[in-house]
Amino acid sequence: MKTYTHYINGSFVPATSGETIDSEDPYSGEVWARIARGSGEDVDAAVTAAKNAMEGEWSTLNASQRGKLLNRLAELIEDDAARLAEIEVRDNGKLMAEMSVQTKYMAEWYRYFGGLADKIQGAVIPTDKADIFNYTRYEPLGVIAMITPWNSPLLLLTWKLAPALAAGNTAVIKPSEFTSASTVTLMELIERAGFPAGVVNTVTGLGDEVGVPLVSHKDVAKVAFTGSDVSGQKIYESAASQIKKVSLELGGKSPNIVFADADREAAVMGVISGIFAATGQTCIAGSRLLLQRSIHDQFVERLVDVAGQANIGDPKSPDTHVGPITTRPQFDKIIEYIDIARKDGANCVLGGGPYTGPGAKGNQFIEPTIFTGVKNDMRIAQEEVFGPVLAVIPFEDEDEAIQIANDVIFGLAAGVWTADIGRSIRMAERLKVGTVWVNTYRAISYTSPFGGYKRSGLGRDSGIDAIYDYLQVKSIWVATQTSTRNPFVIA
């Protein structure tokens, strides 16, 4: 059985303690690999390597040379996309159909930010001061701690690593303890691409044992985190004590809003892709369906019909639509939310429990589940389930749709389904979320900013904005003439 180790200062090394953690295949339920169980000592070694790398060969590379390394990494990822996809599917149960596309697509982030690296320019500022020349330059922050969740380990890491390296920073990565194998494998490609030792490091292990000391390490300049809002808040609080920068990509309770004038069939497919793709284990899950009352019953009937035909089973099979839940604690949490919804009076019209039918193996499948009769103050409408559970809420008009949509603590994304272009623009303006999709859902690109409003987070991944989250601007004043002005008055 393979053991995935840390990667520190250009070497694959076991945990100092020698301890490991078992990694389970969520489909079969069997232990298929082990990962190093890191500690504060391992974190310190990795942060020291990353700090030293900031002063070494890496600092002598110009932005174009950093860009070339990122482009080389993109090529290696494309060449190895099938192997990376296989590991990810084995480790977290995502569909091969999705992962085989995602691992290839990931390369585009490294290309985009590789290309952007030497296009970041300071400015010459036309100030009001005669005889002083003022200009700005953008500089890297230093060592970036990158902490990622289990649902899309490689893609979510890529969203941080590509801009951070393009900007000239170094990295210490802590992947989820449930899904570390693909990140450690990526380190092989980092090495082959030619990044100097210490520029990218990975320490695997538990949140308390690796994440906590990493966030509080004095030599970490910024924490880039994707995960739950609860962990995000703890990280924010810890970082605050050292005035450390953070970016937080947290959870969501995104509304998919369907108006009566929408293309009905397209909207049904969009709602399904929002909540049952990736088995609902995605931050952008459209977990609240807001349906205009006049089409409620017909729409729900068609939705139940289509969702009820989803093939559940082996994530490796190209015919599978819904795979297993990635972790046992997550499985238990989803079942608990289904019980809560029932107790709160919601009406289960599809699924509603573990799936044990054809295609199921292990014991981590949950049926695609739909609740109607949901009120927006019920827990099933307010709290992130992170599973294949949809809450349907009726509305009368635009105003009520907006009121319900915005009445949650999260603000990650929203979908709007309508044939009225004016309405789509009005809705997009009024929704308090970081991403709005109109007549589509779950579209993302390396070119477009992604991130949350409200409790869904701080900062942006992807697009030009993202690189500035990994840079700081310096203002430089140069006297063009020497003067002996009054030293007791501001210049």
List contacts with ligand NAD (CB under 6 A).
147-151, 156, 174, 176-177, 207, 211-212, 215, 226-228, 231, 234-235, 249-252, 283, 384, 386, 412, 452, 457
Cβ proximity to ligand NAD, 142 vs 211, nearer residue: 211
Cβ proximity to ligand NAD, 69 vs 246, nearer residue: 246
Q: How far apart are CA 139 and CA 323, in angstroms?
A: 43
Partner residues linked to 135 by β-bridges: 124, 476
Cβ proximity to ligand NAD, 148 vs 364, nearer residue: 148
Cβ proximity to ligand NAD, 6 vs 174, nearer residue: 174
Tokens of 468: 């500035």
Residues across the chain: 491
Active site residue 283: yes
C-alpha separations of 61 from 73, 139, 219, 469, 479 in Å: 16, 13, 22, 21, 30
Of the candidates 24, 88, 177, 283, the residue annotated as catalytic is 283
Residue 40 near residue 6, CB atoms below 8 Å: no
Cβ proximity to ligand NAD, 211 vs 313, nearer residue: 211
User: Which residues have C-beta within 8 Å of that of residue 366, sequence separation ≥ 6?
Assistant: 279, 325, 331, 334, 335, 338, 351, 353, 354, 355, 387, 388, 389
Query: What are phi and psi for residue 216, nearest 5 degrees?
Result: -90, 0
Kindly state the smallest distance separating residue 361's Cβ from ligand NAD, in Å: 23
Alpha helices in 344-420 (DSSP H): 379-382, 398-406
Tokens of 306: 């289509």
Q: Vertex 453, ends 451 and 454: CA angle to 5°?
A: 135
Kindly state the smallest distance separating residue 308's Cβ from ligand NAD, in Å: 26
Cβ proximity to ligand NAD, 77 vs 412, nearer residue: 412
Tokens 């569909």 appear where? 95
Kindly state the smallest distance separating residue 231's Cβ from ligand NAD, in Å: 3
Cβ proximity to ligand NAD, 217 vs 321, nearer residue: 217
Q: Which residue is nearest to ligand NAD (CB)?
A: 211
Of the candidates 249, 367, 384, 398, the residue annotated as catalytic is 249
Kindly state the smallest distance separating residue 243's Cβ from ligand NAD, in Å: 18
Residue 395 near residue 389, CB atoms below 8 Å: no
SS3 48: helix
Nearest in space to 306 (alpha carbons), one of 342, 274, 260 = 274
Cβ proximity to ligand NAD, 401 vs 436, nearer residue: 436
Q: DSSP string spanning 236-273?
A: HHHHHTTT-EEEEE-----EEEE-TTS-HHHHHHHHHH
Burial of 335 (0-12, 13-18, 19+ CB in 10 A): middle
Which strand ranges, in their side-by-side order, compose the sheet holding 288-292? Answer: 347-350, 369-372, 389-395, 288-292, 255-258, 413-417, 435-438
Q: How far apart are CA 110 and CA 132, in angstroms?
A: 39
Active site residue 348: no
Q: Which residues are catalytic?
A: 249, 283
